[in-house]
Amino acid sequence: MEFDRWLAQLAGAASGQHWRYLLILSGDRDWGLGLCESSPLLRGEQSLWVSDHGPAACRSISPARASSLLGTETDHIVYDAWSGFHPNGFGILSGTVRAGGVLVLLAPVMAEWEQYDDPDYQRMAVPGYSCASRRFLQHLVRCLSDDADVILHRQGEALPVVPGLNDRHKSATLPVPVAGMDCITLDQAQAVAAIEHVVTGHRNRPLVLTADRGRGKSAALGIAAARLLTNEVDYIVVTAPVMSSVASVFKHAAMVLGDASREGNTLVWRGRRIQYIPPDELLRTRPPARLLLVDEAAAIPAPLLGNMLDHYHRVVFTTTVHGYEGTGRGFAVRFVGELNRRRPNWQKRQLVEPIRWAANDPLERIVRKMLWLDAEPAADKAIGDILAGELEIALIDRQQLLQQPALMTQLVGLLITAHYRTTPDDIRLLLDAPNMDLVLARKGMVVVAAILFAREGGLEPELIDAIRQGVRRPRGHLMPQTLWAQTGNHALLARTGWRIVRIAVHPAAQRRGIGLRLLACLHSIAAEQGVDYLGSSFGATTDLLAFWQRASYLPVAIGWRRDASSGTHGLLVLRAINPDLVTMIEQDRDRFAEVLPTMLVDQLQQLEADVLGALLVFIGCRSNGLQARDQQDVQDFVSGARGFEHCVAGLSAAAIDMLAQPQCSSRLSQQQREVLIGRILQRRGWAQLAQQAGLTGKAQVVQVLRAALQSLLPPGGPTDRS
């Protein structure tokens, strides 16, 4: 009863200050569970348990399902770290706690927590490697033990004093709704007006809206979308990495509209629609929306965002500055330069004032500290004019990252900035995964670049047999298992390889050869340790294809399906270190070149023309010179003597031959490249291709095809007779 009264006082204090608190119950698991189960506050309908020992009558989920609660709200949460501390899940769930709420964290005794066999480490278990380290737990213990924002109750000790107001935590009130409006703050009302102006104002002036969590960003999207529907806008598309990300958009739009109905991924109001479409489907189908809302844009690669700019003239990009699906800072570095170049009149707004809780919220601050959400790379001025040859590049003991927090902060900030989707889970892997290691490039204490890599292969014969029989698919070992699945080559399962998981160069130090030098140093380190090969798997874009080609890697396999969030196809590249593997990897590349044309008319039929063109150059996918009959097919089609269907065999050989030669491909316009690839190699229909290329129909597509193929013919060859 004493704990019940004390917890009610703590919740009352939080409510009075419009804050949320983190309460840690540090001691035996049964003791912590017993205290929570005895509390009416924590057993209420609006409370949530994250535990495999939650009371039967209480709402309970696993940490892995946390993303399904994005955009929802909860009074109080009991998070049972004995069931596993899941960084992403903890961060997401902390954002669902309402003002006046308490997040209760059940944890072992602080001095013993880092030794606990956390169930979350099962996600990192890799056959052939020892159990994960405990560095992330060490970090948590340091963060939580001596932080003034944490309420820590140790078993056997008196209950802590309920915090009151002090100079450090000034009381603040929640915002009052703007009179006569659906918005909560003037900040939000101005954002809604800016979104509406994207539709009513000049074309090609996209809006970028940024905010931390709890600032009403998604609500602003929903309110603006609803108002636009009531003002004659008939169709709005919302895209985001996952549907759950836009739940709040739909919720607030429905609240404003009143009598709207939900039909699957679409909100319908009097015949007008707001529809969610995943990024890959959006770019494949290109529906004619009046407005495109791109939520959590930081979690979508910049090339895909650029494609959205190409096809939609009225776009709003929103992103969370410190998020769990991606980061607004990385988005700023990667995409704002593109906006400046292509849409110089783009607009920007930032939501600053919290809506769901008051400023200086204790829970928000401590979660940022726990999950490195505020980590920043080294300042640009610290990078200066550093050159590749000045850097110290070496393997680093990951324990050193905890001993030198400045290094860790810079490294995490660099990774967040460099990759479109670096999450707290990735940081735990960086620290603890048993098969991962890290190479840092730095000058003094300034982190300039880094490579995170995973050790793979070297499997036992029994496990190799189980993989080949389809009985096992062990975690990790992505490269050899992918190659076996796609080509039947199982030799690399027994060989040792290093898979490059992340390669990051500080934005202020790019275009100086640092990435290539990093790879060269990693190659030397791997050779010294007797590693057989290096490789990487990444979302295929033109820039990345060019980088890995310069580094002398060979493409050997491509994913059939697009990644759900990035919309790209994963490409596997390898480079032999052991001379015995040089011929084998070249043969795998050649086999890939042989099967690629078949994939283009099936799984890769919608692969972007520029990506495919770069891939063909990368593979060196040349025919053995055009045969006489192929050349005749090209001549007859270009001259109009024979139709497309009768010449397609020779045209296919010619297209591959042309696109594999950079000097040939560069002479084609973007439209010619799209039509050449789309019709000849991917066999897209005439009508579909005409629509995608902005042409009126088959006749114009044929005309563009002939012009593109004309460049293959010798001077004085046939001319178009159409």
The tokens describing 33, both together, are 């569970």
Confirm whether 201 is domain-assigned. yes
24 and 71, same domain (yes or no): yes
Compute the distance between CA of residue 22 and CA of residue 35 in angstroms, rounded to an integer. Answer: 16
Residue 467 resides in a domain: yes
Same-domain check for residues 143 and 220: no
Kindly report the CA angle at 256 between 252 and 259, in degrees rounded to 5? 110
Confidence of residue 335 (pLDDT cuts 50, 70, 90): confident
Domain CATH code at residue 222: 3.40.50.300
Instruction: Clarify whether residues 99 and 34 are in a common domain.
Output: yes
In tens, the pLDDT along 468-487 reads 998 999 988 999 999 999 88
Residue 330 has pLDDT above 60, yes or no: no
Q: Domain of 587: which CATH number? A: 3.40.630.30
φ/ψ of residue 69, rounded to 5: -100, 5
Per-residue confidence (pLDDT) for residue 317, from 0 to 100? 94
Q: What is the pLDDT of residue 326?
A: 46
pLDDT tops 80 at residue 669: yes
Position of tokens 């056997």? 156
Whether residues 491 and 537 share a domain: the answer is yes
Region 10-14 average pLDDT: 94
The pLDDT score that the predictor gives to residue 720 is: 47
Q: Which helix (H) or strand (E) holds 351?
A: strand 347-351
Work out the average pLDDT over 5-33. Answer: 95
Residues 533-549, mean pLDDT to the nearest whole number:
94
- Asked if residue 316 and residue 236 are part of one domain, the reply reads yes
pLDDT (tens digit, 9 = 90+) per residue, 186-228? Answer: 889 999 999 999 999 999 999 999 888 888 888 999 999 999 9
Q: According to the model, what pLDDT value does residue 181 have?
A: 60
CA atoms of 700 and 397, how far apart (whole Å): 61
- Please report whether residue 638 resides in a domain: yes
Task: Tell which residue, 502, 373, 372, has the closest CA to residue 437.
Answer: 502
Last residue of one domain, picked from the residues 571, 594, 617? 594
Number of domains in the chain: 4
Least confident residue range of 53-57, 163-167, 599-603: 163-167
| Strand-pair category, 207-211 with 347-351 | parallel
Q: Residue 604 domain-assigned?
A: no
- Cβ proximity of 331 and 297 under 8 Å: yes
Residues belonging to the chain: 722
Q: Which amino acid is present at 588?
A: D
Tokens of residue 414, six digits: 């660099």
Q: Which pLDDT belongs to residue 624?
A: 58
125 or 268: which carries more pLDDT confidence?
268
In Å, how far are 22, 280, 285, 434, 453 from 428, measured between CA atoms? 21, 29, 37, 11, 14
Choose one of 336, 351, 366: the last residue of a domain. Answer: 351
Tell me what the mean pLDDT of segment 282-299 comes to: 89
Choice between 187 and 520, residue whose per-residue pLDDT is larger: 520
Q: Is the pLDDT of residue 584 over 70?
A: yes
Task: Give the list of residues 6+ apart from residue 582 with CB closer than 8 angstroms, or none.
Answer: 576
Verify that 574 and 642 share a domain, yes or no: no
Residues 6+ apart with CB under 8 A from 361: 19, 20, 99, 214, 354
Same domain, 439 and 549: yes
How confident is the model at residue 194, as a pLDDT?
96
Report pLDDT digits (tens) over 232-243.
899 999 998 878
Q: For residue 283, give the DSSP letter.
A: H
The whole-number average pLDDT for the span 21-32 is 97
CA distance linking residue 679 with residue 685, whole number of Å? 7
pLDDT at 419 (0 to 100):
76
Residue 320 inside a domain? The answer is yes
pLDDT beyond 50 at 719: no
Domain shared by 556 and 422, yes or no: yes
What's the per-residue H, E or C state across 2-46? HHHHHHHHHHHHHHHHCCCEEEEEECCHHHHHHHHHCCCHHHCCC
Q: Which residue has the tokens 């009371």?
A: 55
Q: Does 251 share its domain with 344?
A: yes
Q: In what order do the strands lie in the sheet with 496-505?
A: 392-395, 436-443, 446-457, 496-505, 533-539, 569-576, 554-562
pLDDT confidence of residue 87:
94
What pLDDT is stored for residue 63 in this prediction?
81
Q: Which residues of 610-632 are buried (b: 16+ CB within 10 A; e: fewer)?
A: bbbbbbbbbbebeeeebeeebbe
Question: In which domain, by residue range, is 339 found?
Answer: 186-351
Q: How do 21-26 and 150-154 pair as beta strands?
A: parallel
Q: Is residue 421 part of a domain?
A: yes
pLDDT of 722 reads 46
Count CB atoms within 10 A of the CB of residue 518. Answer: 25
Q: Is residue 171 over pLDDT 70?
A: no
Residues 18 and 62 in one domain: yes
Q: What pLDDT is attached to residue 64?
A: 79
Last residue of a domain, one of 135, 154, 173: 154
The answer to whether position 476 is within a domain reads yes
Q: Measuring CA to CA, which residue among 262, 296, 252, 260 is closest to residue 278?
A: 296
Q: Is residue 619 included in any domain, yes or no?
A: no
Question: What are the helix (H) ranges across 27-108?
Answer: 29-37, 87-94
Give pLDDT tens digits for 245-266.
788 899 999 999 999 999 999 9
Average pLDDT of the residues in 626-651: 92
**pLDDT tens figures, 368-378:** 999 998 888 99
Asked whether residue 640 carries a pLDDT value surpassing 60, the answer given is: yes
Q: Could you tell me if 103 and 197 lie in one domain?
A: no
Question: What is the average pLDDT value for the chain, to the nearest integer?
Answer: 89
- Considering the domain architecture, whether residues 555 and 646 belong to the same structural domain is answered as no
pLDDT of residue 623: 54
